[in-house]
């Protein structure tokens, strides 16, 4: 009888153990399904109308993954409004243009409000003017409307160490300005022409979106930055405020209830291996300068 009792107890323990593992396996499956649905944006669809939150941070450059996410947002009818949070000193002219154009396409069918963080200058401000309403804190740094093209001349240093660079090119303006040779007046004029052309584009964008004349914008676009308070006074932004004021504006001006859920825009990062991530994160930084990502015409502010 004692053997039968031990056998029965062992069977019961085994059944409990199997039951626990089955429960754990079921929970794991449910979690995997939930994560998968979240990545596909299922929950945004399931909850119905929502306000999309788009975050623009750091240096702005061309980002195909981010732009693809904005394209999906443009096609998402459940996104009844958009809040763009900006904390960026700007970046490349093209990167800022792409963000602006993507947001304007979204803005054709739903309202957009921009809320500025610590810095939303130059290309960051270009992103903000894609919105229908712009908010900033009193101490926000914004403005810096302008375009720059940077180079250097290292010929003096090379001469001191006895290095003579040799350049053979098809025409005088090829690869100009070149840090290994003095910049000629002709090359400088060409660079000024490029900068002037893109500056006019930037000014025109501000004039159109802020309902100003080109002359009014040019008076403000000498490259300087403004505080949030100053930007309200000169018309570059609309009001002082943050998230609460953004939701209030959407409700009062666009009829979107403040109770509407705010859901971050889903960004589908491409899959990569651990070795690739390691190379990009450490070895890659040694082999290539981060600054090389900002070659060309820039619309960026830095003290």
Task: Write out the catalytic residue numbers.
Answer: 122, 174
Cα pseudo-dihedral 224, 113, 232, 303, rounded to 10: -20
Check if the beta carbon of residue 119 is closer than 8 Å to that of residue 301.
yes
- Which DSSP symbol is given to 238? S
Q: Are 160 and 252 in contact (CB under 8 A)?
A: no
> Other C-beta atoms within 10 Å of 177: how many?
19
For 115, other C-beta atoms within 10 Å of its C-beta total 27
Q: Which residue intervals of the chain are DSSP H helices?
A: 2-39, 42-46, 64-74, 93-107, 123-128, 155-160, 185-209, 214-220, 228-234, 243-254, 274-278, 284-287
């Amino acid at each position: 009888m004692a053997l039968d009792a031990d056998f029965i107890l062992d069977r019961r323990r085994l059944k409990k153990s199997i039951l626990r593992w089955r429960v754990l396996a079921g929970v794991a499956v449910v979690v995997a399904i939930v994560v998968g649905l979240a990545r596909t944006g299922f929950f945004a669809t399931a909850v119905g109308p929502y306000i999309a939150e788009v975050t623009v941070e750091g240096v702005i450059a061309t980002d195909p993954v981010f732009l693809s996410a904005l394209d999906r947002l443009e096609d998402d009818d459940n996104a009844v409004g958009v809040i763009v949070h900006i904390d960026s000193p700007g970046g490349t002219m093209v990167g800022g243009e792409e963000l602006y154009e993507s947001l304007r396409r979204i803005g054709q069918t739903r309202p957009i409000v921009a809320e500025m963080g610590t810095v939303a200058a130059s290309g960051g401000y270009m992103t903000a003017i894609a919105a229908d309403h712009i908010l900033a804190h009193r101490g926000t740094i914004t403005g810096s409307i302008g375009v720059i093209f940077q180079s250097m001349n290292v010929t003096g240093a090379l001469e001191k160490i006895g290095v003579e660079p040799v350049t053979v090119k098809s025409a005088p303006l090829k690869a100009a300005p070149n840090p290994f040779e003095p910049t000629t007046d002709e090359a400088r004029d060409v660079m000024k022409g490029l900068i002037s052309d893109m500056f006019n584009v930037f000014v025109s964008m501000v004039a159109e979106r802020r309902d100003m004349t080109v002359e009014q914008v040019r008076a403000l676009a000498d490259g300087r930055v403004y505080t949030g308070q100053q930007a309200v006074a000169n018309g570059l932004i609309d009001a002082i405020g943050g998230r609460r004021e953004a939701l209030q504006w959407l409700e009062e001006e666009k009829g979107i209830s403040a109770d509407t859920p705010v859901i971050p825009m889903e960004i589908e990062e491409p899959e990569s291996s651990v070795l690739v991530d390691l190379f990009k994160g450490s070895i890659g930084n040694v082999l290539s300068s981060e600054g090389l990502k900002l070659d060309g015409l820039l619309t960026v502010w830095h003290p």
